[in-house]
Amino acid sequence: MNMAGKTSVNGESNGKVHRKVGLVYDETMCKHDTPHGEAHPERPDRIRVIWENLQLAGVTQRCVVLGGTKAEDAHLQLVHTKDHVNLVKSSTNKKDYQSDRIASLVNSIYLNRSTSEAAYLAAGSVVEVAEKVAKGELDSGFAIVRPPGHHAEADEAMGFCFFNNVAVAASYLLDERPDLGVKKILIVDWDVHHGNGTQKMFWEDPRVLVFSVHRREDGGFYPGGDAGSYNMVGEGPGEGFNINVPWEQGRCGDADYLAAWDHILIPVAKEFNPDIILLSAGFDAAIGDPLGGCRVTPYGYSVMLKKLMEFAQGKIVMALEGGYNLDSIAKSSLACVQVLLEDNPIQGSSEEIPFMSTWRVIQAVRKRLCAYWPSLADELSSKLINQKTPTPIVLTSNSNSEAKDNAHELLDQLSKLNIETHKVDTKVSTSWRSDLSKVDVWYASFGSNMWKPRFLCYIQGGQVEGMTKPCVGSMDKSPPKGITWGTYPNRLFFGRESTNVWGKGGVAFTNPLTNPNDQTHMCLLEQFNDVLFQENGLNVDFASPIFGLTALQLVEKNGSTPLEADLAPWYGNVVCLGREGDVPILTMTCTLSVIEKFASGEVPLSPPAKAYANTLIRGLVEGGIFSEEEAEAYIDDAASKPLYINGASRF
Ligand code: X5A
Ligand code: ZN
């Protein structure tokens, strides 16, 4: 297959005409790293493995290879404030990068003396490729850059990003190079996270159509809040030129993404008819990604890209954003470059079908945007949307997970599940897991579904009622040293309007702050990290501990420690409730900032659904804490009292 028309001919030895594809790789961008070599998913090897894999596959020789180019301040300032540019620039001369720790915990960034140089190179390289593609010197290109860009806002670095590389390039073409004739730009952001920065920068700009597909989970997934909602369509002249496709759940794969392409992006792109496409190409929706929790395969990425090549005469500029599984990003990148080179047909296939929630989201997006894009107006045929995978019962985020209680419903659901989504990965090799398993900690749960059989199962492996899939078992399979209950002066409450699994009604949280008038009864178990790991359904090749020895020290010192919001959107706070003997008692709940939102009513308090309340009650009764009536009264009380922030920190 050979569609390289027009001017760009790249002479190959066999005389075949190839598309001219640019690649930027510059080792200098590997110098941006954590200040003291701490493990971090956004690490230098990400771009190295992509590059090495392209070399290994022999595709780099068939591309135009460019070194990095540093961005000009004037170009950065097309989308960033002068202060922000200066702040990043001056970070080179800092003495103490450790002092940025607070900012980094809040905003998911880190800095070292090479951060500024790498950030200038990342932005400048995307500008360089975009300019060459717009000129026609290249047909398309891939800037293999880091740090990533799409979370960076005009005046703020966040989410591992400093400069919004793609936004800088888009503004450069539109504002600085009218001679190149680029009047309309489509930005496609398939990174698993919402491109909040890009959205803001072109919010009122009809020249740039920003499309982002991302995991959102009702605002619980990074970067959170309302920004990634499908209601955010742009404003003023830009109204209708911002499109969000927010997944309600993880595990979305090729079928879900391609459904969003076929029923939203592609019809809109036809109407918009862009002059060039800039692709915020994060590969953290890839299968195996430790942050994304989605399942897109290299084949899926190839098809998505191929469909975009039908527009703008194939003028596509890919810029790397996220993607944290080295193997996945290397393979996905190669698959994409092969599509850009367009010299062999796409290999592979997918038999998956979209989730129910995917059709729900796609329909909502179409409805919200059809006034601007008439091709979205038709109802999707029922034949189409009836092809769907039932949403599995998921342990979304927490210790007090939202598993189904009702045995009949459970069996019914399980029997409908796509087996593929429930494969158990048995190769548990990661050494970090063993560290914490040697340390004694008590894990305090609300006594809900973490009743004895479930807990033992997390140690031994297998599957018991209320589990959505078999679990791999602990590193250390010896039985727990104890199971007991404790009562703590913390307020139990129920919040959120609904959850994927439990439907309408809140789930349990405990206020990290103590108050002598409050009581929460907790069931204490050992093997904290394995429980965390297994309850959150994390990938076994996750390279660093969700909660390792350092985090344990922090909890013991500070009383709590936040977790990566991606791993535990709602229960992202590990809190130390005290000690039993020498052994710390840890639990998971939300952060104080979320407690404030519950207390102010910004996030609703809501009593639990019946099935969920019953699970809690059963735990309390089986634990010998309460009679059934007492347990009911305890839950009712916690579910009906208002929440005040009147607590004290234990530490
Ligand atoms: C570019 C990207 C993710 C930030 C996650 C922060 N950022 N927890 O993937
Ligand atoms: Zn991302």
- State the distance from the centre of ligand 2 to the C-alpha of 540, rounded, in angstroms: 19
pLDDT at 502 over 70: no
Which atom of ligand 1 is nearest to 151's Cα? 1
CB 321 near ligand 1, within 6 Å: yes
* Chain segment 337-365, per-residue pLDDT in tens: 999 999 778 877 777 788 888 999 999 99
**What pLDDT shows up at residue 465?**
64
Protein residue with its CA nearest to atom 5 in ligand 1: 159
More confident: 478 or 53: 53
**What pLDDT shows up at residue 459?**
72
pLDDT at 472 over 60: yes
Average pLDDT, the chain: 81
Parts of the chain belonging to CATH 3.10.490.10: 433-639
**What pLDDT shows up at residue 6?**
36
Following DSSP, what letter does each residue of 124-184 receive, concatenated?
HHHHHHHHHHHHTS-SEEEE--SS--TT-BTTB-BTTBSS-HHHHHHHIIIII-GGGT---
- Decide if 150 is catalytic: no
- State the distance from the centre of ligand 2 to the C-alpha of 620, rounded, in angstroms: 40
Confidence of residue 94 (pLDDT cuts 50, 70, 90): confident
Following DSSP, what letter does each residue of 183-198 receive, concatenated?
--EEEEE-SSS--HHH
Q: How many helices (H) and strands (E) does the chain have?
A: 21, 20
CB 566 near ligand 1, within 6 Å: yes
Protein residue with its CA nearest to atom 9 in ligand 1: 322
CB 189 near ligand 1, within 6 Å: no
**Which residue of 191, 217, 222, 567 sits with most ligand 1 atoms within 8 Å of its CB, as the best mutation to test the pocket?**
222
CB 149 near ligand 1, within 6 Å: no
Q: What is the largest CA-CA distance in the chain?
A: 83
pLDDT at 573 over 70: yes
Ligand showing the shortest atom-to-Cα distance for residue 46: 1
Confidence of residue 101 (pLDDT cuts 50, 70, 90): low
CB 222 near ligand 1, within 6 Å: yes
What integer is the mean pLDDT of 42-68?
97
Which atom of ligand 1 is nearest to 159's Cα? 4
On whether the CB atoms of residues 486 and 577 are closer than 8 A, the answer is yes
More confident: 526 or 320: 320
% of the chain residues with pLDDT over 90: 47
pTM of full prediction above 0.75: no
Query: Annotated catalytic residue: which of 80, 84, 150, 151?
Result: 151
Q: How many CB atoms are closer than 10 A to CB 176? A: 15
Ligand showing the shortest atom-to-Cα distance for residue 145: 1
The most confident of 23-32, 33-42, 242-251, 558-567, by mean pLDDT? 23-32
- State the distance from the centre of ligand 2 to the C-alpha of 292, rounded, in angstroms: 7
% of the chain residues with pLDDT over 70: 75
pLDDT at 119 over 70: yes
- State the distance from the centre of ligand 2 to the C-alpha of 323, rounded, in angstroms: 6
- State the distance from the centre of ligand 2 to the C-alpha of 291, rounded, in angstroms: 8
* Chain segment 398-429, per-residue pLDDT in tens: 222 232 222 223 223 322 322 222 222 323 33
pLDDT at 320 over 80: yes
What integer is the mean pLDDT of 30-52?
92
One CATH from 3.40.800.20, 3.30.420.480, 3.40.30.10, 3.40.630.30 for 21-344+354-385: 3.40.800.20
Protein residue with its CA nearest to atom 3 in ligand 1: 159
Q: Which residues contact 610 (CB under 8 A, 6 or more apart)?
A: none
> Which of 158-167, 281-290, 392-401 is the least confident region?
392-401
- State the distance from the centre of ligand 1 to the C-alpha of 182, rounded, in angstroms: 30
Alpha carbon distance 608, 268 (integer Å): 41
Q: Which residues contact 405 (CB under 8 A, 6 or more apart)?
A: 449, 466, 611, 612, 614, 615
Task: For residue 317, give Cα distances in angstroms to 94, 130, 206, 219.
Answer: 34, 6, 20, 29
Confidence of residue 510 (pLDDT cuts 50, 70, 90): confident
**What pLDDT shows up at residue 58?**
95
**Which residue of 43, 107, 151 sits with most ligand 1 atoms within 8 Å of its CB, as the best mutation to test the pocket?**
151
CB 191 near ligand 1, within 6 Å: yes
Q: How many CB atoms are closer than 10 A to CB 194? A: 30
CB 162 near ligand 1, within 6 Å: no
Protein residue with its CA nearest to atom 2 in ligand 1: 322
**What pLDDT shows up at residue 467?**
65
- State the distance from the centre of ligand 1 to the C-alpha of 198, rounded, in angstroms: 14
The most confident of 80-84, 431-435, 451-455, by mean pLDDT? 80-84
**What pLDDT shows up at residue 587?**
77
pLDDT at 518 over 50: yes
CB 193 near ligand 1, within 6 Å: yes
Confidence of residue 190 (pLDDT cuts 50, 70, 90): very high
Which atom of ligand 1 is nearest to 192's Cα? 9
The amino acid sitting at 579 is R
Protein residue with its CA nearest to atom 6 in ligand 1: 159
- State the distance from the centre of ligand 1 to the C-alpha of 159, rounded, in angstroms: 4
The amino acid sitting at 224 is G
Helix 45-56 to helix 326-341 angle, to the nearest 10 degrees?
A: 50
Parts of the chain belonging to CATH 3.40.800.20: 21-344+354-385
Ligand showing the shortest atom-to-Cα distance for residue 108: 1
**What pLDDT shows up at residue 509?**
87
Homologous superfamily of the 433-639 domain (CATH) = Gamma-glutamyl cyclotransferase-like (3.10.490.10)
CB 398 near ligand 1, within 6 Å: no
pLDDT at 160 over 60: yes
**What pLDDT shows up at residue 490?**
84
**What pLDDT shows up at residue 546?**
59
Which atom of ligand 1 is nearest to 322's Cα? 9
On whether the CB atoms of residues 290 and 538 are closer than 8 A, the answer is yes
Confidence of residue 558 (pLDDT cuts 50, 70, 90): confident
Q: Which residues contact 423 (CB under 8 A, 6 or more apart)?
A: none
The amino acid sitting at 174 is L
Following DSSP, what letter does each residue of 595-632 receive, concatenated?
HHHHHHTSS-B-PPPHHHHHHHHHHHHHTTS--HHHHH
> Which of 496-500, 513-517, 533-537, 580-584 is the least confident region?
533-537
- State the distance from the centre of ligand 1 to the C-alpha of 268, rounded, in angstroms: 27
The CA-based dihedral angle spanning residues 335, 341, 346, 350, taken in that order and rounded to the nearest 10 degrees: 40
**What pLDDT shows up at residue 164?**
98
CB 282 near ligand 1, within 6 Å: yes
Protein residue with its CA nearest to atom 4 in ligand 1: 159
The most confident of 10-19, 211-220, 381-390, by mean pLDDT? 211-220
**What pLDDT shows up at residue 442?**
64
> Which of 323-327, 497-501, 533-537 is the least confident region?
533-537
CB 147 near ligand 1, within 6 Å: no
What integer is the mean pLDDT of 490-503?
79
More confident: 121 or 538: 121
pLDDT at 552 over 70: yes
Protein residue with its CA nearest to atom 1 in ligand 1: 322
